[in-house]
Amino acid sequence: MLEQGTKAPSFSVKDHNGNTVSLADFAGKKIVLWFYPKADTPGCTIEGKGFRDDYEKFTEKNTVILGVSLDNETDNKAFAEKFNFPYPLLCDVNHEIALAYNAVKGPQDEYASRISYVIDESGNILEAVSQVDTKTHSGDLCSRV
C-alpha cells in the first residue's frame, strides 16, 4: 500500500464509456479510488452497489468515486449499466494504475487486489485501506471523508 501523505501517482486511462480519465481531472476534490478484482462478480457487485447507494452522500462531501479493475471497456460498461453505477469504472487493461497503487504484484496478474485509497484535494494519499468488507466499505469510507 502507498503511504499516507505521499503524492498519489498520476494516471490517464479510459473509463467504461471510452472517456479518458486522469487523476488531474479531479484537482480540488477528494477521490475514492477503489480497486476490484472482476466486473460483475458477487463481491465486486456488492461493493459497487454500496458506492452507488452512497453516491449522493459522497458528492455532497466533494468526493469523486472511481472504480478500477483490469477489465476491458465492454465488460465494465455491461457491469456499470446492469447495476446503474453513476460513477466511472476505469479500465486499467495495461495495469498502469494497479501497478502504481500496488493493487497488483506484477504486470502478469489477472486481477487487482480489493483495496481502496482516499486521495485528498491536493492529490495526496489521505487513507489506504487494505482490508475491505464489501458489505460495509462504502459506508465506512463515507463516514470518514
Contact criterion met (CB below 8 Å) for 125 and 4:
yes
CA torsion, points 140, 36, 64, 29, in degrees to nearest 10? 90
Contact criterion met (CB below 8 Å) for 17 and 79:
no
Tell me, yes or no, if 44 is annotated catalytic. yes
Of 8, 21, 23, 44, which residue is the catalytic one?
44
Distance CA(12)–CA(88), nearest Å, equals: 13
Q: Which residues are catalytic?
A: 44
